[in-house]
Structure 1
């Protein structure tokens, strides 16, 4: 199947721009203060993720960044309201890890009703 949109909800980044260790170790969903750069500005996870995709030859004109949210519900709401619906991007897929899949599916089903999910990376 071909998708118009693939959504990658995140869990934060560390000082190296990698997913935060607490995402892997604690599997927690509590909010942590953002990592700051050398100028004391938060490191934006969506921007870091976009750079990661670009380094792996995903064209930058195919990447849309949602950086308004602080959690999965916000990811879903802002992605739908600001990107997916205005651009009429259907069908869409969501990629997340096994631990967050059930919760993420419930949230996306709540906002979108029917959606295809995958925990495979590309």
Structure 2
């Protein structure tokens, strides 16, 4: 009986240790414009490189965070259009860049419905975060110039939005150079 109890305690301790493994469960990367060639602007590429760097470091430790590419476009600019005339969300173009940087396609998620930051945060939450309760540690990546506004919006959407704030979510912010 004593051995059974010790085994049970060991399993519980290992489970808690696993849950406390450092790292992000999801990384949300904000869009910010695309050139005529369909390649995200350099400011967005810096964000994507940071996300790919974090992903690679966690993958080396046996973890695979999801990366949510967050953004449909810009309200005051036309969307990028492919050779067949179809509008392509910025988030999808960002996902292609992440794949080229070594992020596995199955770990890339796209939110391309909204063309403004409030909508981006909302759709990232309801489409990707709320449906994955194991994604409790979130990292938001954007540029330094946009960070204060981004933090206010994402804190509101993830921590204060009624009737259901996202319970138990740890949200951190990561600014790349402008």
TM-score higher than 0.5 here? yes
Counterpart residue number, 2:53: none
Q: Deviations over 1:38-65 (max 9, x none)?
A: 3222132111101100101011111111
Structure (1 or 2) with the greater strand fraction: 2
Residue matched to 1:12: 33
Moved over 3 A (4+): none
Q: RCO higher in 1 or 2 (8 Å CA, sep ≥ 6)? A: 1
Hey, what does 1:99 align to over in structure 2? 145
Q: What number of residue pairs does the alignment pair up?
A: 115
Instruction: Report what 1:77 is aligned to.
Output: 122
Secondary structure at the residue paired with 1:95?
A: strand
Offset of residue 20 of structure 1: 4.5
Cα distance in 2 for partners of 1:43, 1:13 equals 10
TM-score (norm 2): 0.59
Q: Taking structure 1 as the reference length, what is the TM-score of the superposition?
A: 0.83
Q: Distance between the aligned counterparts of 1:58 and 1:86, measured in 2?
A: 22
From the two aligned structures, give the one with the greater helix fraction. 2
Gaps of 5+ in 1: 24-28
Aligned to 1:55: 100
Aligned residue for 1:65, secondary structure, equals: strand
Q: Which runs of 5+ in 2 are unaligned?
A: 1-21, 45-73, 160-169
Determine if contact 2:34/2:40 at 8 Å carries over to the other structure: yes
- After TM superposition, the structure 1 stretch with the greater mean CA deviation from structure 2, 107-116 or 93-102, is 107-116
Aligned Cα RMSD in Å?
2.1
